[in-house]
Every structure is written in C-alpha cells, then in structure tokens.
Amino acid sequence: MKNFVLIIVFTILGACSAPLEVGISDPFEASNRQVHEINKSLDKNIVRPIAVLYGDSTPVQLQSAVNNIAMNFSLPSNSINYILQGEIKSASNSSMKFLVNSTLGVVGIYDASSQLGIKSEKTDFGETMAKWGIGEGPYLDILVLGPSNQRDGIGRMVDIVFDPVGLIGVGAKGVATFTSVAFGLSARSQFRESIDSILYQSADSYAQSRLFFLQNRRYELGTNQALPYIDPYN
C-alpha cells in the first residue's frame, strides 16, 4: 500500500507543476457532481444527525478535551511535513508541543504547551507538495472526504498511510482515529448553519462547495489568486 501511494505521489509530481492557481479546473465535473450528491445524502441521513446529537448532548468541556487530544495526535505528522518543507523551527515546535501536551497535558487533554508559549500551526502533505511547487491539479469531490483537488487528495492518502502516530502503537492509533472522528463531528455541529446554507439552501450546492473549498484552501496556502465568483442562480 505504501509503495502504491509513493507511485501516485511521484506521478502527481510530474502532472502538476503550476505553483499558483487561477480560476477553476474541473474536467471531472460530471462524476464529481455524482459523488457530491452521495456525500450530501450521507451528510443528511448520517453525519449531520449524529453530529447534532453529539454537539448538543455532549458537555462542552468534554468536547474540548477530545478535540485537544485529536489535535495533539496530529502534531507528529505536522513535524514530519514541516521537515519536508524545510521549516525546521516549526518542526521543532510541533515536536516539543506534542511532548509537553502528552506528558504535562495528560495525553493532550490539556493544552499545557500553550501556557508555556509553544505554538504550532497545522500543516499536511498537500501543503508540503504546494511548497515544493506542485500545482493543485483538477478539482475533485472525494467519496466521504468531500471537496478536494488532485494534490490534496494525494496528500490526504499520504498523511493517513504514513502517519507516525502508528509507530507509537495500535492503541495510540485507535485513540487518534476515534478523537479525529469526534473532532469532525464537533466541527460539523458547531458550524452547522454555515454548512447547511451551502449544502441545503443554495441553488447549486456543488458549485458553492467547490468555490468555498478552493478559496479557503488557496488562502491557507497563500496561493489565492483572483477567483471569479460563480453565481449559483445564473
């Protein structure tokens, strides 16, 4: 599986070369729209109801603790990606934050590192490839995962397969997966109004989701060129 992912990564290295993106590339729109409708149905019938139940019935303090654990377990992957990006100081901060939160913060329940002034921003392999000058490629709507693009889709696969948390042990990996899912449910509940307005109240939820993802992702990576607004009512 890891060799397969590496082959795909090296393939995309040659396929996408533009460092900055302009406009929207969506040659797979027909199939993307089909996947979007499946994801939309999954959200409506499964994800959203569970997320709302979790968000409304789980104490805020418990949600915060679970979210902290999830973010703590993402730090080793951040460190690896920062090293690949040549950001040694950021990699060191992520590693130190993980060490402090895993000990003084009781496996990350408490963000003890922030009280010591240790800060670290989230990153991923998609951003790593962007730093290498690899273009985002065509827009993709991925089953279950949702809006993405060719580069970030590959990045997600790499982050999952090569997650260093797995080296700690099966138990740690299981906790990381569980808390990551809970983190996602908490976010879906917290931002339900905004997400619902895009998915269920817009004339073209696919176009709105695509535009929202591209604008936000490009802003995160600092590659946000002028992106024309798409009127869903036109």
pLDDT of residue 21: 59
CA-CA distance, 54 to 76, in Å (whole number)? 27
Q: Which residues of the chain have pLDDT under 50?
A: 4-7, 10, 12, 15, 17-20, 226-234
Cβ partners under 8 Å of residue 126, min gap 6: 151, 152, 154, 155, 156
Residue 116 DSSP label: T
Burial 57-67, CB ≥16 within 10 A → b, else e = eeeeeebebbb
pLDDT of residue 19: 45
pLDDT of residue 234: 34
pLDDT of residue 166: 84
**Tell me: the pLDDT tens digits for 200-233?**
999 999 999 999 999 999 999 987 654 444 433 3
Gyration radius from the chain CA atoms: 19
pLDDT of residue 225: 54
